Amino acid sequence: MSPNQCRVQNLLITMSPEFPIVIVGKEELYPFFGKADCKEQIAYVRDDLPKSVKKFVTSHELYHLRDETKWWVWREYRANFHAALRHPWGFIVCAMISLSMTRLRCYYNRFKEGK
Ligand SMILES: [Zn+2]
């Protein structure tokens, strides 16, 4: 555990310069890889992801916390672009493991629901 990390109950929390990052189990977020709670200003990232994907997802979720764009498609594009520039390998691996039926269905439902 690095000096900027701590455990609260069973959660590993990393303090980024701006926002806390909480590492959670797969069961907390599946099928999503991460989540940005904009109200509480906390980023959540799954602990079962490959290291490169965790870095990409963390960068993606932290970007969401700073972004004030309203339209969700544009928000996702911006967060992915930002994180892919910083973690290109994580972006590639993330894209590859996102090609499961569960993830594709998840994207389809988001498009259908428009959020
Ligand atoms: Zn996102």
- pLDDT tens for 81-107 read 999 999 999 999 999 999 988 888 888
Q: Which of 56, 11, 64, 59 is nearest to 36 (CA)?
A: 64
Please report, for the chain, the start and end positions of each structural domain, with discontinuous segments joined by +: 5-113
For 5-113, give the CATH class. alpha beta
Helix residue spans in 1-115 (DSSP H) = 26-29, 51-66, 72-86, 88-97, 101-113
Report CA(70)–ligand 1 centroid distance (Å): 12
CA distance 24 to 46: 5
Report CA(55)–ligand 1 centroid distance (Å): 14
Residue 8 has pLDDT above 80, yes or no: no
Report CA(10)–ligand 1 centroid distance (Å): 25
The model's pTM is 0.85
